[in-house]
Structure 1
Amino acid sequence: MSTMAFGALQIAFDEHVLRPRPWTLAQSQWAQQLLAAAPTGPVLELCCGAGQIGLAAVAGTTRSLVCVDLEATAVAFCRANAAAAGLTDRVEVRHGAMDEVVGAEERFALVIADPPWVPSTQTARFPEDPLLAIDGGDDGLAVARTCLQVVGTHLAPGGSAVLQVGTEAQLDLLDLPAGEAGLALLERRVLDGGVLGRFGLPGSG
């Protein structure tokens, strides 16, 4: 097991979980800024891994957080990291497929997602990363599309989703599935190691 600083948090992880990327703290910071004007309600983190992005987003706020991941080891680390941050009473971690473990009636003020976005044919370029955490299918966007479906179903009116992918070209390719989910790409930010897109209801600015 290893630990590393992620903002003000200390995050534990091992080789079965994607190592936290320092630049993804920008996703947490943007999410926290959006929470200041977001509707009431909890935050949802999809593909949470060790939980660092969601935990950093809600730390210092009063929001509760639901974290979801398909990998059992990631779920265990996320729970441990929530406890280490003193956030156990506000964080629920769920193990399973994102489109199965979120209740039909649940709505979230903000959704955060850093899904796998490496095309399957390119995953060998990252031998130290666990395959489940990086393999995004043929074009790298299979999991991201599922994220948008979940967002479209569970985002509260006036809320936002902040999703990370690898390139601006990938983000552009999500325009159609976002529209099919009832969402629009409202804003983008380019990071050192990826691209963030903010999605919400069309016309919400």
Structure 2
Amino acid sequence: MSRIMAFGPLAIEYDETVLRPRRWTVAQGRWAATLLPALPPGPVLELCAGAGQIGLLAVHGTRRTLVAVDASPTACAWARHNAASNGLRADVRETSLSDALQPDESFPLVIADPPWVPHDDIGRHPDDPVTAIDGGPDGLDVARQCVDLAAAHLAPGGSVLLQLGTNEQADRLGQAWGRVGLTEHSRYVVPGRGVVVHLRAARPA
């Protein structure tokens, strides 16, 4: 049975086959929206998009298209539905991260919402689809892929908003984004809920 929830000004529909939208992540979508006016033109990329709510909120009120990537067929179906029902433009791609983008594609803003629950802890979340929350041994397997992909396809002057579970995970992942030429600009922390890290391309030495 599907449900509909308010996500900022959007009405987002979903069911038990996808991760239930978390209300605290409205702040991530709004943060993305505030960054866009100062960023280069072009579509917004959302990795591990789920039902698409965060990326759709980011492009709401703009003329930008959302490119939403998720490996789950049902998540992609809901993302397409939610884009259409809210009158937004979305190119939803049902594929793995490794096959999602063409080599010449670039984006001024990349939003990444990877699964970040450590594998041994997924039993604490019995109502969530395993593939939507299982981040591997330390919770960062998919996040590392997102960082690599974002860095490879970030337009000059662009930004990345990466969602993680804890400050400790963000600290641990710092080496990964430093290795691919990204640097941390700021963080938004909701204790007990999650962390969003704002990354930019590192300035030349």
Partner Cα distance (1:101, 1:114) in 2 = 15
Residue 60 of structure 2 is aligned to residue 91 of structure 1: no
Partner of 1:175: 174
**C-alpha displacement at 1:184, in angstroms?**
1.1
Partner of 2:197: 197
TM-score normalised by L of structure 1:
0.96
The structure 1 segments of at least 4 consecutive aligned residues displaced by more than 6 Å after TM superposition are: none
**C-alpha displacement at 1:203, in angstroms?**
3.1
1:42-191 pair list within 5 angstroms:
42-87=43-88, 90-191=89-190
**C-alpha displacement at 1:55, in angstroms?**
0.3
**C-alpha displacement at 1:64, in angstroms?**
1.2
Partner Cα distance (1:181, 1:124) in 2 = 33
1:77 is paired with a residue whose SS is: helix
TM-score normalised by L of structure 2:
0.96
1:174 is paired with a residue whose SS is: helix
Partner Cα distance (2:4, 2:195) in 1 = 25
Partner Cα distance (1:174, 1:187) in 2 = 14
Partner of 2:13: 12
- Name the count of aligned residue pairs: 202
Identity %: 53
**C-alpha displacement at 1:68, in angstroms?**
0.2
Let me know the Cα RMSD of the aligned residues.
1.0
**C-alpha displacement at 1:99, in angstroms?**
2.1
Letter in 1 for 2:40: P
Per-residue CA deviation, residues 45-97 of structure 1 (Å, 9 max, x unaligned), is: 0000000000011000111110000100000000000000011xx21000011
Partner Cα distance (1:94, 1:52) in 2 = 15
Letter in 1 for 2:39: A
Partner Cα distance (2:171, 2:203) in 1 = 18
